[in-house]
Amino acid sequence: MSGFLAGLCVAVLPVLAAGVWLGRRTARPKSLGGLGTPVEHATFETLHTASLAAPPLRAGLTEETARKSARKLRSLLGTDALCLTDREQVLVWDGDGDHHRTEIMERLAGALDTGRGEAFRLTCEILDCSVRWAVVAPLTVDERVHGALVACAPRESAVLVRAAGEVARWVSVQLELADLDQSRTRLIEAEIRALRAQISPHFIFNSLAVIASFVRTDPERARELLLEFADFTRYSFRRHGDFTTLADELHAIDHYLALVRARFGDRLSVTLQIAPEVLPAALPFLCLQPLVENAVKHGLEGKAVSSGKCHIQITAQDAGAEALVVIEDDGAGMDPGLLRRILAREVSPSGGIGLSNVDDRLRQVYGDDYGLVIETATGAGMKITVRIPKYQPGVHSAGRLTRE
Amino acid sequence: MNSSYAVPAVALVVVATVLVGAFGLRISRTTSDFYVASRTVGPRLNAAAISGEYLSAASFLGIAGLGLVQGPDMLWYPVGYTAGYLVLLLFVAAPLRRSGAYTLPDFAEARLDSQAVRRLAGAFVVGVGWLYLLPQLQGAGLTLTVLTGAPDWLGGVIVAVVVTATVAAGGMRSITFVQAFQYWLKLTALLVPALFLVLAWQSDGAPRHAFDEPASFREQRVVRVGDSIDLKLDRPLTVTVSGTVDGRTHAGTRLELPAGTHHVERGTRLTFAAGATVPKAERSGGGDLSPTQAESREERPLYATYGLILATFLGTMGLPHVVVRFYTSPHGVAARRTTVAVLGLVGAFYLLPPVYGALGRLYAPELTLTGDTDAAVLLLPDRLIGGVGGDLLGALVAGGAFAAFLSTASGLTMAVAGVLTQDVLPSRGVRHFRLGTVFAMAMPLAASVLVGGLPVADAVGLAFAVSASSFCPLLVLGIWWRRLTPPGAAAGMLVGGGSALLAVAATMAGYPGEGAALHALLAWPALWSVPLGFLTMVLVSLATPGRVPPDTAAVLARFHLPEELRTEVTA
């Protein structure tokens, strides 16, 4: 009996999985049923088909996306065959009459140049070929012809010419959106590039001043500090890769803090609690150092030069599929309302160096769930929590961990 | 067995695990020195952690039990469990680390860029994890029953509750230290009693017939039959019976049982004379599977052995809790070094269970009759040494056994819960991870309470078979074959892993009955399901050449190039 139960438990697993999958697949179309009059129903059907064809095209016009959307587009037009081309070749042919590919491409040259739609009769030796006639509707983005949508039918039809034109316009809009997406991505990349080299000029100035002050009194110390400075700037200005490892970032923070400590002496103390499991995690380049810089600034702010001491705690924990990094200071804190406005970029970030910048980059790389979480109040210090997924597609640290 | 030492020992292990897990990090890593704080996990520490997580109840109790029943044939188990890391080292370790993947679904996504394959891999991780968790909980139940006479399910519930609580509360912060600690604890818990046992064996005149076939009683031995059994006798046997045999009640009568099958009711006491061979027993009533599987091995030892070898050699790389630990290595070379160290540590450990199996055959052969062969390791110290010393050593072994359940179960629970929260449950967040933990543990716990009586090593063997036929093709082809496509990977995992899973289900449900040639095929599916998985993956991939992910070359370059060279590639 018990053995049977065990078998049942195991056998139920795949069935459950299949059930969930089927349920997800079938859930959406069903919700369309039983809506209003047949006309309304047909409208909904059409809109639904159109909405299904849209997502692949949002990634631009490639063989893969064309293949995914062609069938939906053909059912939208109700033709025997539909083909999508770019400027050089047929990307996909959905339906009958596959042998017309080359002929279509030859006849298409004019339409692709002028950007005007046309219709023509196809020549065919095969007697029972169902495709005798083709409508060409160019796909244009920003006045430039990217490709064409070709609908084929057994005989001429004015309705089809109109419909193909409309569908082509709709596809063009999707492609324009894809173009927009692409330029947005490029913008983000450019922004990341612009942001990442942004170490504060004040910091360079202050560091050099501190080193200068040691040159005569303690040349050995000055030499060490210069080396720290060299290491830190080398890390900050390195050219390759947008991502680094938590270990490398921590080393950069170490160099940074050595320079800051030289300036503030005993007033600054730092404790670390790092789970070694998360050190290899990949994260955007220079996204923790600005937070530490911020903590130093806030920690020492508003305290009398002689008595004020600042304590900074940096924690990295292992939390399942994520690493949890917390940077905490016991300094002046900040008004939450002001901080919210800084993060929303309503106020120029004179106070929080790069906080909004780090927040933006984290959101761009990992999604909106992974923005900075900041707990603060005036006079109560500040605690910044960063969640870093251990694996994210496309995030690979460049180079190797610093060797010990 | 005296439980006055064992229960505190088990409690101590549980408490120590929780404490090291919660505070290990705090003690060792709170510092203002960056170079101390941000030191990565070295290969040796990581290897100890991997070994600690890997050596489960099957290794600790099951192998000795199997050795007791089956004799030297079962030495293939420890060999297979160890050699799995050799395959991992040669084909998978470094590229897997360089892929940056944390879990197996991550790897599927990194290599094939497909959400569908990712979800499928996630489903198999959950399946394998649950299959592997089941014997851990049962082993815990068995241990507690042997130690204190508590009901079967209690030990499993204790382990489930402790693991769920610590994992869900985020208590396993310094998991590497916990697992490394568990490895050394387990090794000590087997090594120290083993030394004493071998000494006792020496002073007993070092009898050498441990692996004689069949096992026999060395001295007069009273056996209490816990569950009704059928004795199969090849030759007549003289035995003193108090209880019911073949429907007739006896009270301390000396019986001459003729060759053939005899039915012994539960609760019967059989007293065997010294030198009597241990009869073969078959549990009657209910579809219990341990004897049927044990028998099928005797029928087709060669086929079963090959099935076992293939499953353990290739299954190790697909164990979800092993794979996540490689993420801790800082780079591919460290991952390889770690694997080499794991080979050493695991190999050293696996020298011990066969010793217990052999001594069990000498000193506790009646366990084959009562069916509790997995208890051999726990009972031997008491049997051979006795007194306070035996009790203390028994307590040490019991503590080690619980460490085995806790470490493997917590590793598996974390892996399964991670997949459940990421890929199954709707939204992300810490609260959902807790929900996932509960869910990850609830299913195997329910199964273990409902099922009971599954031999630990066999159940683990089934988990290995499923892992070998689904993840081994995915990993090996994913790393070494550039023409793998998402549909191919999905089909291969479904056909290979799915058929192994169905075979497992059929075996557990007791179908088809013992003796059928088909039964051996189903009980040891790896030999046909692994090639089937590979073949399907290759053929379907070749049939869908258009679906090769466009960035395959770049991805494979990243898998195989050492990290130092990566800079030039990405620049």
pLDDT in tens, A93-108: 888 877 888 888 888 8
Q: Is A393 on the interface with B (CB under 8 A)?
A: yes
Q: Supply the pLDDT for residue B452.
A: 60
Closest CA to A276 of B42, B232, B359: B42
Could you tell me which residues come within 8 angstroms of residue B325 by beta carbon, excluding any fewer than 6 positions away? Answer: B46, B49, B50, B53, B179, B411
Confidence of residue B518 (pLDDT cuts 50, 70, 90): confident
| pLDDT tens per residue across span B241-285 | 777 777 777 777 777 777 777 777 777 777 777 667 777 665 543
Instruction: Choose from A324-333, B241-250, B528-537 the range with maximum mean pLDDT.
Output: B528-537
- In this structure, are B197 and B125 located in the same domain? yes
- In this structure, are B200 and B96 located in the same domain? yes
Query: Does any domain span residue B186?
Result: yes
Query: Does any domain span residue A19?
Result: no
Average confidence (pLDDT) over B310-327: 89
How close, in Å, is residue A43 to chain B by CA atoms?
31
Q: Supply the pLDDT for residue B325.
A: 86
| pLDDT tens per residue across span A182-209 | 888 888 777 766 666 566 777 888 889 9
Contact A272 B29 (CB under 8 A): yes
Confidence of residue B286 (pLDDT cuts 50, 70, 90): very low
How close, in Å, is residue A40 to chain B by CA atoms?
33
Question: How crowded is residue B8: how many other Cβ atoms within 10 Å of its Cβ?
Answer: 13
Q: Supply the pLDDT for residue A369.
A: 84
Could you tell me which residues come within 8 angstroms of residue B435 by beta carbon, excluding any fewer than 6 positions away? Answer: B421, B425
- In this structure, are B358 and B266 located in the same domain? no
Reduced to 3 states (helix: H, G, I; strand: E, B; else coil), residue B257 is strand
Instruction: Choose from A101-110, A374-383, B243-252, B376-385 the range with maximum mean pLDDT.
Output: A374-383
Q: Supply the pLDDT for residue A298.
A: 81
Instruction: Choose from A63-77, A81-95, B466-480 the range with maximum mean pLDDT.
Output: B466-480
| Element spanning B255, H or E | strand B248-257
| pLDDT tens per residue across span B322-342 | 888 888 888 888 899 999 999
Average confidence (pLDDT) over A166-183: 89
DSSP A317-340: EEETTEEEEEEEE-S----HHHHH
Q: Supply the pLDDT for residue B287.
A: 31
List the end-to-end C-alpha distance of chain B, in Å, as a whole number.
Answer: 67
Identify the residue with better confidence: A211 or B272: A211
Q: Is A241 on the interface with B (CB under 8 A)?
A: yes
Partnered with residue A150 across adjacent β-strands are A83, A136
Tell me how many domains chain B contains: 2
Query: Does any domain span residue A319?
Result: yes
What percent of chain B has pLDDT above 90?
20
Could you tell me which residues come within 8 angstroms of residue B56 by beta carbon, excluding any fewer than 6 positions away? Answer: B132, B135, B136, B139, B404, B405, B407, B408, B460
Closest CA to A98 of A155, A152, A167: A152
- In this structure, are A157 and A208 located in the same domain? no
- In this structure, are A228 and A310 located in the same domain? yes
- In this structure, are B27 and B65 located in the same domain? yes
Q: Using an 8 Å Cβ cutoff, are A310 and A330 in contact? A: yes
Q: How far apart are CA B412 and CA B160, in angstroms?
A: 11
- In this structure, are A372 and A233 located in the same domain? yes
Report the residue of chain A nearest B135, measured CA to CA.
A6
Reduced to 3 states (helix: H, G, I; strand: E, B; else coil), residue B483 is coil
DSSP B370-439: HS-GGGHHHHHHHHHT-HHHHHHHHHHHHHHHHHHHHHHHHHHHHHHHHHIIIIISSS-SHHHHHHHHHH
Q: Supply the pLDDT for residue B120.
A: 92
Domain housing A52: 37-180
Query: Does any domain span residue A187?
Result: no
Average confidence (pLDDT) over A231-239: 80
What percent of chain A has pLDDT above 70?
84
Q: Which of A155, A180, A205 is the last residue of a domain?
A: A180
pLDDT of B39 strictly over 50: yes
Query: Does any domain span residue B499?
Result: no
Phi-psi region of A325 (alpha: psi -120 to 50; beta: other; left: phi over 0): beta
pLDDT of B227 strictly over 80: no
- In this structure, are A86 and A135 located in the same domain? yes
Confidence of residue B17 (pLDDT cuts 50, 70, 90): confident
Q: Supply the pLDDT for residue B2.
A: 54
| pLDDT tens per residue across span B426-455 | 665 556 777 888 888 888 888 877 766 666
pTM score of the predicted model: 0.78
- In this structure, are B9 and B83 located in the same domain? yes
Q: Supply the pLDDT for residue B85.
A: 92
Q: Which of A148, A180, A212 is the last residue of a domain?
A: A180
- In this structure, are A159 and A269 located in the same domain? no
- Identify the CATH number of the domain in which residue A111 sits: 3.30.450.40
pLDDT of B86 strictly over 70: yes
Query: Does any domain span residue B51?
Result: yes
- Identify the CATH number of the domain in which residue B97 sits: 1.20.1730.10
Average confidence (pLDDT) over B419-427: 75
- In this structure, are A104 and A220 located in the same domain? no
Count Cα neighbours of A221 within 13 Å in the Cβ-side half-sphere.
Answer: 15
Residues 142-171 of A with CB under 8 A from B: none
- In this structure, are B315 and B257 located in the same domain? no
Closest CA to A284 of A363, A351, A356, A209: A363
Query: Does any domain span residue B487?
Result: no
- In this structure, are B269 and B229 located in the same domain? yes
How close, in Å, is residue A284 to chain B by CA atoms?
14
What is the token pair recorded at B59? 């290794």
Confidence of residue B191 (pLDDT cuts 50, 70, 90): very high
Q: Supply the pLDDT for residue B567.
A: 53
Average confidence (pLDDT) over A154-171: 87
From chain B, the residues in CB contact with A272 under 8 A are 29-34, 37-38
Q: Supply the pLDDT for residue B453.
A: 60
Query: Does any domain span residue A231?
Result: yes
Average confidence (pLDDT) over A299-319: 75
Closest CA to B444 of B85, B201, B102, B156: B156
- In this structure, are B157 and B188 located in the same domain? yes
Residues 2-21 of A with CB under 8 A from B: 2-11, 13-14, 17
Confidence of residue B125 (pLDDT cuts 50, 70, 90): very high
Query: Does any domain span residue B441?
Result: yes
- In this structure, are A303 and A352 located in the same domain? yes
Interface probe with A: pick from B28, B32, B38, most Cβ of A within 10 Å: B38
Residue B532 gets which letter from DSSP? H
Instruction: Tell me the average pLDDT of chain B.
Output: 80
Report the residue of chain A nearest B548, measured CA to CA.
A64
- In this structure, are A143 and A207 located in the same domain? no
Contact A273 B567 (CB under 8 A): no
Q: How far apart are CA B438 and CA B260, in angstroms?
A: 50
- In this structure, are A217 and A365 located in the same domain? yes
Identify the residue with better confidence: B170 or A150: A150
Kindly list the distances between the CA atom of residue B567 and the CA atoms of A189, A238, B126, B390, B563, in Å, as whole numbers in the listed order: 19, 11, 36, 60, 8
Give the nearest partner residue to B450 out of A2, A10, A280, using CB atoms: A2
Rounded to 5°, angle at Cα B384 from B381 and B389: 55
Sort A14 into a burial class: Cβ within 10 Å, 0-12 / 13-18 / 19+.
Answer: middle
Closest CA to B352 of B8, B136, B82, B87: B82
- In this structure, are B304 and B271 located in the same domain? no
- In this structure, are B423 and B327 located in the same domain? yes
Q: Using an 8 Å Cβ cutoff, are A362 and A370 in contact? A: yes
Question: How crowded is residue B17: how many other Cβ atoms within 10 Å of its Cβ?
Answer: 25
How close, in Å, is residue B113 to chain A by CA atoms?
8
Residue B238 gets which letter from DSSP? E
Average confidence (pLDDT) over B12-30: 69
Q: Using an 8 Å Cβ cutoff, are B476 and B91 in contact? A: yes
Strand pairing of B221-224 and B229-233? unpaired
Average confidence (pLDDT) over B375-387: 80
Report the residue of chain A nearest B563, measured CA to CA.
A400
Phi-psi region of B267 (alpha: psi -120 to 50; beta: other; left: phi over 0): left
Confidence of residue B569 (pLDDT cuts 50, 70, 90): very low
- In this structure, are A122 and A262 located in the same domain? no
Closest CA to B1 of B545, B409, B394: B394
Query: Does any domain span residue B357?
Result: yes
Partnered with residue B249 across adjacent β-strands are B244
- In this structure, are A113 and A233 located in the same domain? no
Average confidence (pLDDT) over B397-415: 86
Identify the residue with better confidence: B569 or B315: B315
Contact B39 A276 (CB under 8 A): yes
Average confidence (pLDDT) over B343-350: 93
Domain housing B441: 3-36+44-205+300-455
Query: Does any domain span residue B73?
Result: yes
pLDDT of A306 strictly over 70: no
Give the nearest partner residue to A4 out of B106, B421, B509, using CB atoms: B509
Q: Is A387 on the interface with B (CB under 8 A)?
A: no
Query: Does any domain span residue B550?
Result: no
Q: Which of B408, B424, B455 is the last residue of a domain?
A: B455
Q: Among the listed ranges A252-266, B439-453, B502-516, B535-549, which one has the minimum average pLDDT value?
A: B502-516
| pLDDT tens per residue across span B486-512 | 999 999 999 999 999 888 878 777 666
Partnered with residue B243 across adjacent β-strands are B250
pLDDT of A178 strictly over 50: yes
- In this structure, are B93 and B200 located in the same domain? yes
- In this structure, are B134 and B251 located in the same domain? no
Confidence of residue A3 (pLDDT cuts 50, 70, 90): low
Phi-psi region of B277 (alpha: psi -120 to 50; beta: other; left: phi over 0): beta
How close, in Å, is residue A158 to chain B by CA atoms?
37
- In this structure, are A90 and A209 located in the same domain? no
Q: How far apart are CA B92 and CA B76, in angstroms?
A: 23
Q: Among the listed ranges A150-154, B115-119, B217-221, which one has the minimum average pLDDT value?
A: B217-221
- Identify the CATH number of the domain in which residue A321 sits: 3.30.565.10
Contact B451 A396 (CB under 8 A): no
Q: Among the listed ranges A245-249, A281-285, A305-309, A354-358, which one has the minimum average pLDDT value?
A: A305-309
Average confidence (pLDDT) over B169-177: 68
Confidence of residue A400 (pLDDT cuts 50, 70, 90): very low
Q: Which of B429, B455, B481 is the last residue of a domain?
A: B455
Tell me how many domains chain A contains: 2
Q: Using an 8 Å Cβ cutoff, are B25 and B177 in contact? A: yes
Q: Which of A129, A155, A180 is the last residue of a domain?
A: A180
Interface probe with B: pick from A400, A402, A403, most Cβ of B within 10 Å: A400
From chain B, the residues in CB contact with A251 under 8 A are 34, 38
Q: How far apart are CA A272 and CA B61, in angstroms?
A: 41
DSSP B176-235: HHHHHHHHHHHHHHHHHHHHHHHHHHHHTT----TT-SS-B-SS-EEEE-SS-EEEEESS
Q: Supply the pLDDT for residue A26.
A: 61
Q: Which of B455, B478, B494 is the last residue of a domain?
A: B455
Contact A400 B566 (CB under 8 A): yes
Query: Does any domain span residue A113?
Result: yes
Q: Is A315 on the interface with B (CB under 8 A)?
A: no
